[in-house]
Structure 1
Amino acid sequence: MTDKFVDQSIRSFQVLTATHVYRDGFVGVTAAGYARPLVAGDKCVGLAMEEINNTGASAAKSVRVMTVGDIEHSISGATVADVGRAVYASADDTLTFSPDGNSFVGWVKHWLTGAKCVVRLGADGPALQHVNHHALGFTLTAAQSGTLHTNLGASGAIVATLPQSPPAGISYRFVCMADQELRLEPGAAGGVYVKGAKQADDKYVSVTDIGDFIELVADGNGDWLAAASINGADADITVET
Structure 2
Amino acid sequence: MKKIIIITGAGKGIGRAIALDFSRAAIEKSGFEPILILVSRTASDLESVATECRANGAVAELFTIDIADKSQTDRLVETTLKRYGTIDCLINNAGVGRFKPLDELHEEDFDYTISTNLKGTFFLTQKVFAAMEKNRSGHIFFITSIAAETAFKSSAIYCMSKFGQKGLIETLRLYARECNVRITNIMPGAVYTPMWGELPEEMKSVMMRPEEISSALLNAYFLPGRTSVEELVIRPVGGDIND
Fold shared, TM-score > 0.5 on shorter chain? no
Higher CA-based Rg: 1
Give the structure with the higher percent helix: 2
Relative contact order, CA 8 A, sep 6+: which one is greater? 2
Q: Tell me which interval the TM-score lies in, with the shorter structure as reference length.
A: under 0.3
TM-score (norm 2): 0.25
